[in-house]
Each structure stands twice: as structure tokens, then as C-alpha cells.
Amino acid sequence: MTPADQTPREDPSTITSQPRPATTGTRATSGRRSEAARLAVLNAADDLLVEHGFEALTIEGIAAAAGVAKQTIYRWWKSKVDILFDNLVLDAETALAWPEPADLRAYVHRYARFLAEQPAGQVLLALLGHAQLDRRTAELLHDGFLDGLRARDVTQVRELLGLDEEAAAVLLDALLAPLYHRVLVLRRPLDTDFVTAVLDTTLDQHLPR
Amino acid sequence: MTPADQTPREDPSTITSQPRPATTGTRATSGRRSEAARLAVLNAADDLLVEHGFEALTIEGIAAAAGVAKQTIYRWWKSKVDILFDNLVLDAETALAWPEPADLRAYVHRYARFLAEQPAGQVLLALLGHAQLDRRTAELLHDGFLDGLRARDVTQVRELLGLDEEAAAVLLDALLAPLYHRVLVLRRPLDTDFVTAVLDTTLDQHLPR
Amino acid sequence: MTPADQTPREDPSTITSQPRPATTGTRATSGRRSEAARLAVLNAADDLLVEHGFEALTIEGIAAAAGVAKQTIYRWWKSKVDILFDNLVLDAETALAWPEPADLRAYVHRYARFLAEQPAGQVLLALLGHAQLDRRTAELLHDGFLDGLRARDVTQVRELLGLDEEAAAVLLDALLAPLYHRVLVLRRPLDTDFVTAVLDTTLDQHLPR
Amino acid sequence: MTPADQTPREDPSTITSQPRPATTGTRATSGRRSEAARLAVLNAADDLLVEHGFEALTIEGIAAAAGVAKQTIYRWWKSKVDILFDNLVLDAETALAWPEPADLRAYVHRYARFLAEQPAGQVLLALLGHAQLDRRTAELLHDGFLDGLRARDVTQVRELLGLDEEAAAVLLDALLAPLYHRVLVLRRPLDTDFVTAVLDTTLDQHLPR
DNA sequence: CAATAACCGAGACGGTACGTCTTGTCTTGCG
DNA sequence: CGCAAGACAAGACGTACCGTCTCGGTTATTG
């Protein structure tokens, strides 16, 4: 196992992660990995992606912006995709958490806001785009994030509405497909009215009173 | 206007195109553009995309495979995206034609096959992916292809079902969103059963008997 | 034969070279090699070597100083050694020419001045040093320069003094060995008195009156 | 004074050295320097130099081959040159010792064998080569080895042949210059016949009976 | 007989330079 | 003039070592 594989990538069936060893606090410079460097890289990559886009994002640029040596990046990540992926997993954990108490309509609205407005949403869209162009990215994104996210959501919907797995998956897809379609294909804004309309139409149809 | 802009890019409101000047046949060696070189480039780009993917597609590789000088490509296209776009417009014209007589269910099935199986569908998915990463690609793809395609389809649906423009657009999106979602996000096969289920569910809902 | 081999490296038995195609004058940028770039690289390498030494001489530094892209250097030379070698061959042609009329004592004095004072002598000493560390450099330097130089000098000595080849070679080595020993090993100045003493001692011994 | 300066480097006027503190034997891991680590580094450097050459010799490679941490090397040596230098001083002490009873012809033959065949001779030639490229190496080699060696030999020749210092130095240089010239410049073998010829010619000339 | 001080291995860190690759521009010479 | 050919400046790629820096884990004297 090469060092680049040691980046903690948790169980794909969940998106909870990072039991980071609770470093002392600031500069954990030693024989072990520097938390400061890790965070600097993740943040620099995020900032540069939002500011200049995926194409203009380079390892050299990230290294320079993070004040880190290029080799420090290559030691822990294989590519800029891996860096963005780590960012995605990190941020999605909170940004895509289910509301308490569980509420499907609120969750879909939160999902829409995540896709349309939040930096981590930008990261997901960029990775989804790149996944169309690169098999490795597609596998990483699905095995490491999307599949686990969907499994979690299907379970939630099942418990919430008392559906079987098949029906819950169909309902979830029916709710999310218009969202993804609107941002990925139509490139139109995911305003609240649209999400509400999707919810009304779809829930009426799947959950007749 | 630079030479690269001279590539005939027809009215965005339609996807019909290429009244190519019916070149003599073989080697159009003269003061005017070589049809042989143009086709060699388009075909080489298509082949290389299907064979090695978008990332591995380079201008130099296309030039080499087409037996054409690099500058000949740069004279007529701005980027590999433009080459693929030309291919897309060329092929989609027939692959996404409405059946005669007009039939919505047949058209959606054809659309699904286009996305899932045909080379031009691969091109569209690659360009859609790249459009998430590059604003210029997004604009070209929408202004030059997707918007016109959608306008045409909305009109067809209106005429076919007697709906107003708003309703026709909503119906069209409801039919296509699951398709795009399934290939772009879920990466699952677009089998006939799935398309039929989408059609049944959606048409029931939107067109109550 | 790769481009890097095309650098004209003439017959090893002679050190005359460079029938450069007498370029038009200024910027010969075209499908053919740029004379301006070639000279800029050679001069930059020479300057940087004299100023900062062999160790500090880098391809990137030469490229920057010459205002040339790194790849332009790699296209025509394999390494900084090759660049210095070209410089050596170029300059030695005149700096180590035999005087007219041929005069052994004058030639040895000229040789000493070449080794001790001239930039091209610095280049030769650097390459001789590097040849101790790198087999490839050793072969290049001997096959491409030293062997030819020695063959030429042996012939001159034969014709001049009427010796057979063996005797001429022994005499030449006896004259040059103290020079090289003094600069390479003793690191002491090659002053005129020393060279004269070597000539007196050695010629007395080899050419008894 | 930094630790790196603590490497015992004896009086330059002599090449005798190493009153090493007679360590316990095997693993002297404690507050004081580990003799095992020191020897492992010296031997690894020697082996790697002979096997792969000076250029391919790296601190990291030596550390790995010696089973030693990089920092352990940097604690005691400044560079790979310093390591090789220590090896040279260590080995030359015996390899270049004067025969008993003192015999000039035998010593020159021994010198030739040292240069041509022995590992320590390889080290000297490599350092001599590097000294042409690096001022620091030149100073270390002369101040720490060559000058002391020459002083010792001049003294020996004086005592042996009853010459004054000037004449003894000239004779010594006359004997050694052809040897160094032959290996450094001509790259030809230092066979016994050649050395004998040098001795016959030079001694005849300098010591006429 | 603990405390302490220096060495040791391990290896992450910020860097420099490497040699390769592709981009997009340019110029020549042929047809 | 279009075109094949290919050199050019620019700059990102991923790799190899550099020299510096903690980190823990050993001894061996010291207090």
C-alpha cells in the first residue's frame, strides 16, 4: 500500500468520516503527517476551484496557494480529484445531514441548496462533470460517496414513510432527478418554488392520501 | 473575425445544419478549405474519444490520427471541444430526429438509446461533463445545441398533445430528467423497462385520461 | 536517429566543424532549427559556467538566461554536458590551432594559456572533471574531442621533427602531462617559466643535439 | 562549532589519523557516537561509488544502504564529498604507505596500483574530478590530503636521494605527472611497463650516474 | 536509582531541478 | 492560399533528492 493510499477513506457505505487522531492543535510537525499542511491544501484547493474553476486548478497552484511543497501533496493525494474528493466528504457530512427530526421535504430543500449554493456543492458538480470524462473519478465518486449517500437516504425514506426498499429508492430518485437535471443539463437556478413544485407533484403521486 | 470562427455554426434555434458546399470529391487542394482534412479531423476525434476517452483526447493526437497538420486544426477549430461539438451537431441531426409520424413515447425511447448507446451520445455526455468544468463549453453547448433541441421538442410536444408552452416544457423535463439523472449521476443502464416505467408514470400523471 | 543526435558532431579525427548553413541573418524561425536560439543557449551556458561554476549550471537556468524554452534545449542537446561540449569544440578550433609556421614550443605555450586562462579551457577542465564522474561524459569527451586533438598533434609533431608515430606520441605526452598535472592535481598556476622549463627539460632529453 | 565539524580531520601536514576512541565493539548506542553507524555509512558510500558512480551516489541512497537515518549522516558529515574524503584518508594511510626500507621505484609502482586498481584510488579520482567542479571540494582535498601527502613524499625523496627540497619536488612531480595524466586525461591503463618506462626515463635524466 | 542528555531510526516537511508532455503560435516551402 | 511539417515559448506534470525538523525509543553517565 503506497502512502497515497493512506488517506483515510472510510467505509463507502457511509459518509461519516474523519476520526482524525485529534492532533495536539496547531503544528503537528514530526515524523507523522502535518495536520496544518493537510488543511492548507484542502482549503486552497477549495478556494481555487470556486474562484477559477476546475480546469485552471493545478497541483502547482494548490501547492503555491497552500504554502506547501508539491511533493507534500503528491505524498498524500494522487491527483487534484482526490483532493477535491476529500473536501467533498468532509463538507457533505454536515451540509447534507438529515434534519432533526427527520423531514423529507426539508431534506430535499437542503439538498437543493447544497447543489446550488454551497462550495461543497460546486465541488460535487465539478467531480460529477469530471466523472463523465474519467473512469477513475467516476468510480471514486460513486464507491466513495454517492452510493453511500444514496443508501443512507433510502434507509431514511424507508423508515420515515414505511416503504419497502424498492419504492423508497424510486421515490428518492424521482425527487432528486429534477434537481440534478436542472443544474447539470438545463443550467437553470434551483429556486425554492421549483423544489416545492417537484415535492408537491412527486409526493402527491407517490404518497396518495 | 478570425478563421476559427468561420466554422459554420447555424442558427441556434435549429439543429439542422451543414449545407456544405458539395466539394469536388477527393483532395480539395486549392485556395479553399480541404473537405478531406475536415472529415478526417472529425472522424479521428470521434474515434479517439470513444476509444480512449475525453481526457486522453489531444489536438496533437487528433492531428496525428487524421494525418493532418496541427495548424490545420487550429485554423478551423478553437479547441477539441469545438471539434466534438461539430461532430455532435452533425450526428444528432439524424439520431435525435422525431419519428414519423410524431410519437412521444417512441421519441423518448430513441432519446434514451441515443444517450446510452450511440457514439454521438457519448460525445454529448462528454461535453455535458466538460460543461460543468468550463463556462465556455457550457455556453457553446447550450446556445449551440441544447437550447435549440429543447425548443424544437417543446414545440413538437405542444403540437402533439395540444398543451401550452409551459405545460409542454414541464412534461418534457419530467420525461428527460430521469434519463439524464440515471446516466449522469447514477451511472446505471438506460434499459427499455426503465424508460417505459418513466413514460407510464409521467404520462399518467400529466395526461390523465 | 532522434533529434538530439542530430547536433552536428563531425568526424572525431578532426576538430574542425560546423559548416552551419549560413542562415539569412536574424530570426530563422521556421520548420528548421533556429540559429538564434542555438547561439543564445551556447553563450548562456558558457557565461553561467564561468560565473557560477559547473554545479550551479542547470538546464532551467540556461533556458531562462537564454530566453529560450526548456524543451528547445532538450530538443537539441541531451544534457548540460552536451551544451558545454559544443562550446568546447567551437572555441577550441581557433584557440588550439597550430601556429603558422608550425612551432612546437609556441604550440605548447598556447596550450598552456588555453588551459589556464581562456574560457574554453575552463570548459575543458570542467568536462575533464565531470568525465571522472560519468562514463558518458568521458566517452563523449574522448571520442568527440581529445582523441582527435591528440591524433592531429601527433601528426604535426611527426612531420615537424621527423619522428615515428610512437616517438611523437611519447614526446607529446611528456610535454602535456606536466601541464595537466599542474592544473588538475596541483592546482598551481601555469606560468610561462614553468612551461619553458618543461620544454627545455623534455626537448633536451628527447631531441639530443 | 556545529556537530558536522566534529569529524576528526587531523593536521593537514600528515595523513596519519583516526585515534578513534576504541569503542566497545558492536552496538555503541548511547550518548556518544555509534561506531557501527559510522562504519556502515563509510562502507556503504564506498560500495555505492564503485558500483554506480559518483553521480548516482546520494545521501538518501547511502542512508538506505547503510540502514541508517538520513539525519545520522547529516549529523556527522556535511556532504557525500566529506564521506568519501574520510574513506580516502582512512584507506590511503595503508595503501600509499612507503615501503620498508624506503624505495622510490617501489613507491611509484605502488602509487600507480593505488590509482588504477584500488577502491580508494577510485575515490581519489572521483574527488579529483569533483574538485574541478567545486571549489570547496578542491580545498578540502588539497588542504586535507594532497598537500600533506606531497609534503611527506618530498621529504622522503630528499632523505632518500640527498636532494634539496626544490629538486625533490621537481623529481616527484616528474614521476607522478605521467601517471595522473594517463588516468585522468588519456584514460589508458597504468600497466607496469608504462610505469617502469617513466621511472627509467625520468630517473636517468634527474639522477645521472 | 531515577533523571537527563545525546544518539539513533524513521520519515514528513518546504524546496529545486529534473526530463516529459501538450498547448497554441509561428514560418517555410510545396502544390 | 491551404496545407504538412515542425520549431518555438510557455508552463504543468510527476519524480528524485536536498537539507531541516520533530518524534519516540534507546542507552550511559550523572546527581
> Of the candidates D112, D202, C30, which has an alpha carbon nearest to the alpha carbon of residue C21?
C30
Please give the residue that has the higher pLDDT: either D152 or A29.
D152
**Interface contact A53-B138, CB threshold 8 A:** no
Banded model confidence at residue D33, pLDDT cuts 50, 70, 90: confident
Q: Would the pLDDT of A75 be above 60?
A: yes
Residues on chain A touching B134 (C-beta within 8 angstroms): 53-55
Residue C87: count of CB within 10 angstroms of its CB:
21
> What is the CATH T-level fold of the domain C29-77, as seen in this structure?
Arc Repressor Mutant, subunit A (1.10.10)
> Of the candidates C46, C41, C85, which has an alpha carbon nearest to the alpha carbon of residue C64?
C41
Three cell numbers, residue B188: 446505471
Q: Which nucleotides of F are covered by protein (CB under 7 A)?
A: 1-29
For A188, nearest residue in chain B (alpha carbons): B142
Three cell numbers, residue D63: 542512508
Q: What is the pLDDT of residue D208?
A: 62
Query: How distant is C1' of E24 from CA of B185, in Å?
Result: 34
Measuring CA to CA, how many Å separate D49 from each of B173, C51, D42, D75?
A: 71, 29, 11, 21
Contact C149, C89 (CB under 8 A): no
Report the residue of A185, A190, A193, A203 to disrupt the B interface, i.e. the one with the largest count of B CBs within 10 Å.
Answer: A185
Distance of CA D100 to the CA centre of its chain: 20
Contact B171, B157 (CB under 8 A): yes
> Of the candidates D59, D50, D62, which has an alpha carbon nearest to the alpha carbon of residue D78?
D59
Banded model confidence at residue C65, pLDDT cuts 50, 70, 90: very high
**Any idea how long chain A is?**
209
CA gap C125, D112 in Å, rounded = 22
CA gap C201, C199 in Å, rounded = 6
CA angle, residues A146, A152, A156, in degrees to nearest 5: 140
Mean pLDDT taken over chain A: 87
Nearest-CB residue to B130 (from A133, A135, A142): A133
Q: Would the pLDDT of D15 be above 80?
A: no
Lowest mean pLDDT among B7-21, C152-166, D127-141: B7-21
CA gap D70, D62 in Å, rounded = 8
Is domain A23-77 classified as CATH 1.10.10.60? Answer: yes
For B49, nearest residue in chain A (alpha carbons): A133
> Of the candidates D201, D112, D190, which has an alpha carbon nearest to the alpha carbon of residue C171?
D201
Coil vs helix vs strand at B155: helix
Q: DSSP letter for D97, please.
A: P
The mean pLDDT value for D54-74 works out to 96
Please give the backbone phi and psi of residue D57, each rounded to the nearest 5 degrees, phi first. Answer: -80, 120
**Interface contact A125-B132, CB threshold 8 A:** yes
Lowest mean pLDDT among A19-33, B143-157, C159-173, D34-48: A19-33
The mean pLDDT value for D6-24 works out to 39
Q: Would the pLDDT of A160 be above 50?
A: yes
Three cell numbers, residue A109: 430543500
The mean pLDDT value for A43-69 works out to 96
Q: What is the pLDDT of residue B208?
A: 61
Mean pLDDT taken over chain B: 85
Contact C131, C85 (CB under 8 A): no
> Residue B108: which H helix or E strand, with range?
helix B104-117
Please give the residue that has the higher pLDDT: either D96 or A1.
D96
Is the dihedral angle over the CA atoms A105, A111, A114, A120 positive or is it negative?
positive
> Of the candidates A137, A124, A130, which has an alpha carbon nearest to the alpha carbon of residue A96?
A124
Q: Which nucleotides of E are covered by protein (CB under 7 A)?
A: 5-29, 31
Q: Which residue has the cell 575543458?
A: C124
Q: What is the pLDDT of residue C6?
A: 43
CA gap A98, A156 in Å, rounded = 9
C87 residue type, one letter: N
Q: Would the pLDDT of A19 be above 50?
A: no
Measuring CA to CA, how many Å separate A119 from each of A86, A91, C207?
A: 13, 9, 90
Contact C187, D142 (CB under 8 A): yes
Banded model confidence at residue B10, pLDDT cuts 50, 70, 90: very low
Q: Would the pLDDT of B180 be above 70?
A: yes
Mean pLDDT taken over chain C: 87
Nearest-CB residue to D180 (from C126, C130, C184): C184
CA gap A14, A4 in Å, rounded = 21
Contact A177, A185 (CB under 8 A): no
Q: DSSP letter for A34, please.
A: P
Measuring CA to CA, how many Å separate D115 from each of C135, D65, D179, D182?
A: 17, 26, 8, 10
> Of the candidates D122, D137, D148, D114, which has an alpha carbon nearest to the alpha carbon of residue D45?
D122
Domain residue ranges of chain C, discontinuous segments joined by +: 29-77, 80-209
Three cell numbers, residue C2: 532522434
- Write B10-15 long-range contacts (CB < 8 A, 24+): B10/B89, B11/B148, B12/B143, B12/B144, B12/B145, B12/B147, B12/B148, B13/B147, B13/B148, B13/B151, B14/B148, B14/B152, B15/B89, B15/B92, B15/B93, B15/B96, B15/B145, B15/B148, B15/B149, B15/B152
Q: Which residue has the cell 474553476?
A: A53
Contact A81, A95 (CB under 8 A): no
The mean pLDDT value for D144-173 works out to 96
B171 residue type, one letter: L
pTM of the model: 0.85
CA gap D169, B107 in Å, rounded = 102
The mean pLDDT value for B50-79 works out to 91
Helix axes D104-117, D147-161, angle to 10 degrees: 160
D188-209: per-residue pLDDT in tens?
999 999 999 999 999 988 776 5
Question: B79-209: which CATH architecture?
Answer: Orthogonal Bundle (1.10)
Please give the residue that has the higher pLDDT: either B14 or B47.
B47
In angstroms, the separation between the Cα of residue A11 and the nearest Cα of chain B is 19
Three cell numbers, residue B5: 470562427
Question: C80-209: which CATH architecture?
Answer: Orthogonal Bundle (1.10)
Query: How distant is C1' of F31 from CA of A27, in Å?
Result: 35
CA gap A162, A160 in Å, rounded = 6
Q: Does D186 touch chain C (CB under 8 A)?
A: yes
Contact C50, C57 (CB under 8 A): no
Lowest mean pLDDT among A95-104, A122-131, A162-171, B23-32: B23-32
CA gap B208, A199 in Å, rounded = 19
Q: What is the pLDDT of residue C34?
A: 85
> Residue B45: which H helix or E strand, with range?
helix B35-52
> Of the candidates C191, C174, C199, which has an alpha carbon nearest to the alpha carbon of residue C112?
C191
Q: Would the pLDDT of A159 be above 50?
A: yes
Contact B83, B97 (CB under 8 A): no
Banded model confidence at residue B36, pLDDT cuts 50, 70, 90: confident
CA gap A56, A54 in Å, rounded = 6
Task: Specify the CATH superfamily of domain D82-206.
Answer: Tetracycline Repressor, domain 2 (1.10.357.10)
The mean pLDDT value for D108-128 works out to 97
Please give the residue that has the higher pLDDT: either C19 or B41.
B41
Whether D contacts C, i.e. 3 or more CB pairs less than 8 A apart, is: yes
Q: Would the pLDDT of B14 be above 50?
A: no
Q: What is the CATH number of domain D31-77?
A: 1.10.10.60
CA gap A147, A136 in Å, rounded = 15
Whether residue C21 is preceded by a cis peptide bond, meaning omega within 30 degrees of 0, is no
The mean pLDDT value for A129-136 works out to 94
What are the DSSP calls for chain C, one per residue? --GGG-S----TT-----------SS---SSS--HHHHHHHHHHHHHHHHHH-STT--HHHHHHHHT--HHHHHHH-SSHHHHHHHHHHHHHHHHTPPPSS--HHHHHHHHHHHHHT-HHHHHHHHHHHHHTT-HHHHHHHIIIIIHHHHHHHHHHHHHHHT--HHHHHHHHHHHHHHHHIIIIII-----HHHHHHHHHHHHHHHS--
Q: What is the CA radius of gyration of chain D?
A: 19
C93-108: per-residue pLDDT in tens?
999 999 999 999 999 9
Banded model confidence at residue B30, pLDDT cuts 50, 70, 90: low
Instruction: Find the DSSP H helices in B134-164.
Output: 135-141, 147-161
Q: What is the CATH number of domain B32-77?
A: 1.10.10.60
Please give the residue that has the higher pLDDT: either C206 or B166.
B166
Nearest-CB residue to D126 (from C128, C132, C146): C132
The mean pLDDT value for B37-57 works out to 90
C157-191: per-residue pLDDT in tens?
999 999 999 999 999 999 999 999 999 999 999 99
The mean pLDDT value for B47-55 works out to 90
Nearest nucleotide (C1') to alpha carbon of B30: F2
